[in-house]
Structure 1
Amino acid sequence: MTNNFAFIKTDKKLIKLYFDEITVIKGLGNYVEILTIENKKYIYYKSLKELIDNLPNEFMRVHNSYIVNLTNIDSFEDNHILLNETKISVSKSYRECLNTAINKLLL
């Protein structure tokens, strides 16, 4: 059974985060900044590389500094993704993988 949430330790407390509420995870060296649908930000001590292995399939790395939640993408155009009014660049190395994933979701 897979959980639809995880706990992260931030500000000396454990916070329950539902995966479907996460829009973007931004890498900041050894830390990540997790943004949610409600525009909340959490700083978490983990690298993007460590984190991507523990995230569900709807999360995809689109840039060296960003992981996005595909279910929360509003639009994708000209190598940019829009999630909740946050504009994320998609790097060349991740573009093809993202296109494949989005094409599977086309009607």
Structure 2
Amino acid sequence: MGNKEVIRCLVVDDEHPAIRLLSGYIKKTPGLELALQTTHPLEALAFIKKGLADLVFADVQMPDLTGIELIDAIKESQIKVILTTAYEEYALKSYEYDVIDYLLKPITFDRFSIAAAKAKQRILPLLPVFGNDYIMLKTEYRLQRVDFSTIFYIEALGDYVIFYTTLGKVMTLQRMKNMEELLPKDFLRIHKSYIVNINRIDFFEKGKIVINKKQLPVGETYKSAVKLKFGL
């Protein structure tokens, strides 16, 4: 188990040459990973809403959904945005939003690298740090160590997750999808709102898991995985 220091990038532009250029830049930049490239902003929006990207490179002018409209549609999420365009007059408008940077086409690799560095400064501090048997969580006032063995379950609450442990609750700004991907195999997603430590389960019956006297529902999407895990 290591630190998650890779930023998952999404590139959306209605021009294929622009997509190829940015995708190539991402692939040769340490710390960045290309998660999706698409000419369809609605596909990008659906991908973002699934929590599968950390950073979006979005063209300002696109059919169906402009880059500005895309920002409006995802403003409640944690995802960060870098806008791209061939029109300089959109730069001022972009800074009315909390974008990381604004790239004017044609985009050089040097200019891209500056934007990538800004993105790392904004995004990486939000990502959890893992040890072999613990996770370091950023809370409002400090960085707190939580041992895996002390965790009962994890609950999603908007853009936050709450760790319920033997020592109390710890809340951190984080996506549930990140937790699902990064936690060790002793943790199991049972619901869109819950991940459980299987070593802390008291029993499982009638579509519910009980941990520390707390009944947690098993979502329809996750029932087959839960039954497979327990050989049911």
Same fold? TM cut 0.5: yes
Cα distance in 2 for residues equivalent to 1:81 and 1:102: 12
Cα distance in 2 for residues equivalent to 1:91 and 1:42: 24
Aligned equivalent of 1:59, options 187, 190, 198: 187
Shift of 1:37: 2.7
Contact 1:34 1:41 in 2 (8 A): yes
Shift of 1:88: 0.2
Higher helix proportion (structure 1 or 2):
2
Aligned residue for 1:103, secondary structure, equals coil
Aligned equivalent of 1:95, options 198, 213, 223: 223
**Structure having greater relative contact order (Cα 8 Å, sep ≥ 6):** 1
Cα distance in 2 for residues equivalent to 1:15 and 1:75: 30
2:226 aligned partner, one-letter code: L
> Runs of 4 or more off by more than 3 Å in structure 1?
none
Cα distance in 2 for residues equivalent to 1:58 and 1:96: 17
Aligned residue for 2:224, secondary structure, equals helix
Q: How does 1:38-77 map to 2 (within 5 A)?
A: 38=167, 40-77=168-205
2:208 aligned partner, one-letter code: H
Contact 1:25 1:66 in 2 (8 A): yes
Instruction: State whether structure 2 residue 94 is matched by structure 1 residue 4.
Output: no
Shift of 1:74: 0.4
1:17 aligned partner, one-letter code: V
Percent of aligned positions that are identical: 32
Shift of 1:24: 0.9
Question: What is residue 158 of structure 2 aligned with on the other side?
Answer: 29
Q: Which runs of 5+ in 2 are unaligned?
A: 2-130
Contact 1:61 1:67 in 2 (8 A): yes
Shift of 1:35: 0.2
1:82 aligned partner, one-letter code: V
Structure having the higher Rg: 2
Cα distance in 1 for residues equivalent to 2:152 and 2:178: 18
Q: Deviations over 1:32-81 (max 9, x none)?
A: 0110134x111110010111111001111100111111111000010010
Instruction: State whether structure 2 residue 154 is matched by structure 1 residue 19.
Output: no
Q: Which runs of 5+ in 1 are unaligned?
A: none
TM-score in terms of structure 2 length: 0.43
Question: What is residue 210 of structure 2 aligned with on the other side?
Answer: 82
Contact 1:37 1:84 in 2 (8 A): no
Cα distance in 1 for residues equivalent to 2:213 and 2:139: 24
Higher strand proportion (structure 1 or 2):
1
TM-score in terms of structure 1 length: 0.89
Cα distance in 1 for residues equivalent to 2:186 and 2:226: 11
Aligned residue for 2:174, secondary structure, equals coil
